[in-house]
Chain A
Amino acid sequence: MTEWRYWLNEQRGTLMGLAIFVIMFAVYIVNHPAGLTANVAQTAANKGVLLAFVAMAQAMVVITAGIDLSVGMIFVLTNCLASWIVVGTPMQTTFGVFGVLLAGALCGAINGLLVIKGRLQPIVATIATGAIYFGIALLLRPFPGGAVNEDLGDAMTGQFFGIIPSSLIVLLGAVLLVWLPFSRSETGRAAYAAGSAEAAAFMSGVPIRRAKLAAYILAGLLAGMGGLFLTFFTYTGEAAYASGSGYTLWSIAAVVLGGVSLYGGRGSAIGAIFGAFAARTTGDMLFVFDVDPLWQPLLQGIVLLIAISIGAVGLLRVRNRLDWFL
């Protein structure tokens, strides 16, 4: 019984993210004219998964008490790259996919090296690299266009056994192959330690630099997966600045919704996924309530604010004001 309580305490942030998502999605589905059909789920999943990848990427870095303002631009850059190279025969396509993921990881590695070796503040370093990544994207695709292997694209954004959205399966794969091994490795623990108390982690001989670098690289990789998915979804590449910065900002909202502390050391990428789904649902909700498009950004902001407030409700129970700052 007490074991259970300790587990609950460890997973509080992630469970809060799950709860917020479930509440919002339930409101959405109940008011949706078609209800929860396979097609509704597929559309929701495809839109949610894009932000989920970028939010997972953000969570990686935020756990180390950093922040990556270039994730959205890596997402755009890899989208543009994919619209060039993920085409042709299955063999060529496979190489293309690996090329795109490698490019994402490389962008992450550059961010990581600047922050760790260059000792730059993550916030400014990634604003700069984000601009560079967007610049490269623009050179790759001055105008929207390109193509993607449509068989692969359709398989990835379709349905598995006619029910389960296949994009969710891929996301689950990313969790199982990237997040779980990372979070249970020494490097992953070091990432948490560096985010929670960097000096204490150093004193304990924890490999802080390796952990941070790994976090940035994996962030780039995950943002690259997102970019790849965007290409599967749209069949084109587009260097859209608004889309890149939008994804960056929403990824931050998503990790907070998912219970990842911006001070580092707490939360999980799984929480960030729920946060991303919840954040996406804020937009979809307005759709089912048939809100005038003119009002949508304003109302979406209010819904987001309410959702974040639910996550912060725990602070109301705090009886020692000093705990606010912990």
Chain B
Amino acid sequence: MAAPQKQSDGPLFRMKDIGKRYGGVRALESASLVVEAGRIHAILGENGAGKSTLIKIMAGVIAPDDGEMLLQDQVVSFRSPAQAAAAGVACVFQELSLIPDLSVADNILISNPPRRFGLIDRRAQRRLAEEALARAGADDIHPRALVRDLPLSRRQLVEIAKALAWKPRILILDEATSALTAGDVTKVFAVLKRLRAEGLAILYISHRMHEIAELADECTVFRNGRNVASYAAGTRSNSEVVEMMIGREVSSAFPSKPAARNSVPPVLECKNLSWTDRLRDISLDVRPGEIVGLGGLDGQGQRELLLALFGVLRGTSGTISIDGVPRTIASPGVARAGTIGMALIPEDRKTEGLMLPMTVRENLSLAALDRLSSRGVVDRKRESASIDEMVRLLAIKTAGPDIPVGALSGGNQQKVVIAKWLTRRPRILLLNDPTRGIDVGTKQEIYQLLRRLADGGAAILFYSTDYDELIGCCDRVIVLYDGRIVKELTGSEITERALIASGLNVQAEPEVAA
């Protein structure tokens, strides 16, 4: 590989005293950042700390109010994402920027397709797309496949390939691994390390500490719109870093677990549940007061299992029993009804969880309108009381119940999704990766909440891609592989090693005492 180009001794890219306000809110205040070629630079911070604003400015999505950016000591300003990309700053966004109805190849080269006689040269495009996919370690994705037909984790790889097709000098990854399966993460890491060796500067934004520990050369922590600390990777302990991020000391990360309650009969039970080739003979039960985790690699049927229980899938076989009585759950409407009392917190809050343009109030009361109305008319007083209670219970940070929910930060949006279902006081709570892309502080609030609900008698079935969460939160973990239950771990058996091994469907080596 060619040696990294250096035209000057200064850093490749530098941001100085960047400020940005949204209305009265300061998103960034004299923030600075120095990016060196051939290094992986991690950016840490809670959601709302200003990371997203910072990289949006870098990538030309929004313009800063003040401050300047220097690319190789030349002052630059980007007026659009395309301009930034042409200058060599390409970004893989957390909010996917792919067009679902176009093919993978169309998407990868959407910003500057190869042309012949003024029209898009599809053959050249195909070749370039294949190259970019190979560079992103995703050569198993067919360039003609429509993006809408790909699972989330594959889409993320396409997104990375798309950024690489610009042949950038600075690559920004914003929570780029949050949707990836463990296998894909390994691939992406290998790709990133190779790109670093080729002299690329990589900015890496993630909430996953172990990823940062593995990848980063240096780290910068953001808090309240300022960069509060920069340090070489590995020179600070995790708890020190967390402290820097939230500016206060964290109490124990996970609430303590109560003793197992095997005597209580299960409230939710399913036997031999199957659906097409995605679910095979799933039998499990969940007792009141219990948090049961669903583990395994992403895409092994966990999502389908939750949807099947909630009545979304058609043509399932097997039985689902509530309080020991077999029930037919034909739709989410039936699932949430009084005698079953089930709620599902979906994975994709933007499409399945929230009506983004509608207000916090409307979103919060939507799932419980039948309970808040008498004779078909919504009782505003009861609605307001229930909303106030939820905003307080979950500590939702909002300027008021009448602003659009889309204006809240990601963590607070997720709280609204959870609160929306809690207004029904569900007995059975299904959660699909509820903490994805959420900051540390909010995550912990959600853990505490789940345990409180369980202690209050709710039965919780909880899918997570984060092993720490499964270990810290769950009384039992059921591991799925290829639509089948391959392992059930209870209490102290739930270790990272056991989860990874059973997730890959291999036998764990016996744990060796250090």
A residues whose Cβ falls under 8 Å from a Cβ of B: 2-3, 6-7, 9-10, 181, 184-186, 189, 192-193, 195-197, 199-206, 265-266, 318-322, 326
Contacts and interface: CB of A to CB of B under 8 A. Distances in A.
B481 interface: no
B323 to A, nearest CB: 25
B144 interface: yes
8 contacts: A6-B144, A184-B122, A193-B110, A197-B100, A201-B110, A206-B110, A318-B314, A319-B275
Interface of B: 61, 80-83, 85, 93, 95-103, 106, 110-111, 113, 115, 118-120, 122, 142, 144-146, 148-149, 162, 275-276, 304, 307, 312-315, 331, 352
Contact of A204 (B95, B111, B122): B111
Given A203-B61, A318-B314, A326-B148, 12 more contacts: A6-B145, A10-B146, A185-B120, A189-B102, A192-B101, A197-B100, A199-B95, A203-B81, A319-B275, A319-B276, A320-B307, A326-B100
A314 B503 CA distance: 35
A205 B106 contact: no
A186 to B, nearest CB: 6
B453 to A, nearest CB: 25
Most buried by B among A2, A9, A197, A326: A197
Contacts of B315: 319
A63 to B, nearest CB: 10
A266 B312 contact: no
Given A200-B97, A200-B98, A186 B113 contact: yes
Nearest to A200: B97
B101 A266 contact: yes
B107 to A, nearest CB: 8
Given A9-B149, A184-B119, A319-B315, A205 B100 contact: no
Contacts of B122: 184
Contacts of A201: 99, 110
Contacts of B312: 320-322
Given A7-B144, A9-B149, A204-B81, A321 B100 contact: no
Q: Is the interface of A mostly helix, strand, loop or mixed?
A: helix
B314 A206 contact: no
A322 B307 contact: yes
B111 A205 contact: yes
A206 B313 CA distance: 36
Most buried by A among B81, B315, B352: B81
Contacts of A181: 118-119
A319 B82 CA distance: 39
A206 B110 CA distance: 7
Most buried by B among A192, A318, A320, A322: A320
Contacts of B81: 202-205
A265 B102 CA distance: 8
A12 to B, nearest CB: 10
A193 B99 contact: yes
Q: Which 3 pairs show the lowest CB-CB distances between chains A and B?
A: A205-B82, A265-B101, A6-B144
A35 B162 CA distance: 54
Contact of B100 (A6, A189, A204, A265): A265
Contacts of A192: 99, 101-102
Nearest to A261: B101
Nearest to A180: B119
Contacts of A204: 81-82, 97, 99, 110-111, 162
A220 to B, nearest CB: 22
B119 A185 contact: yes
Contacts of A189: 102, 106, 110, 113, 120
B177 to A, nearest CB: 19
Contacts of B304: 320
B314 A319 contact: yes
A2 B148 CA distance: 17
Contacts of B275: 319
B119 A206 contact: no
A189 B110 CA distance: 8
A25 B145 CA distance: 33
A186 B115 contact: yes
Contacts of B313: 319-321
Contacts of B352: 322
Contacts of B61: 203
A323 to B, nearest CB: 10
A202 B98 CA distance: 10
Given A189-B102, A189-B120, A193-B102, A2 B142 contact: yes
A266 B148 CA distance: 11
Most buried by A among B85, B98, B149: B98
A14 to B, nearest CB: 14
Contact of B93 (A2, A185, A203): A203
A196 B97 contact: no
Given A186-B115, A322-B312, A197 B145 contact: no
A184 B120 contact: yes
A6 B100 CA distance: 15
Nearest to B148: A326
A203 B97 contact: yes
Contacts of A2: 142
Nearest to A185: B119
A10 B144 contact: yes
A176 B368 CA distance: 55
Contacts of A319: 275-276, 313-315
A80 B106 CA distance: 42
B80 A200 contact: no
B101 A196 contact: yes
Nearest to B113: A186
A112 B276 CA distance: 46
A188 to B, nearest CB: 8
Nearest to A201: B99
A205 B307 contact: no
A198 to B, nearest CB: 9
A103 B193 CA distance: 58
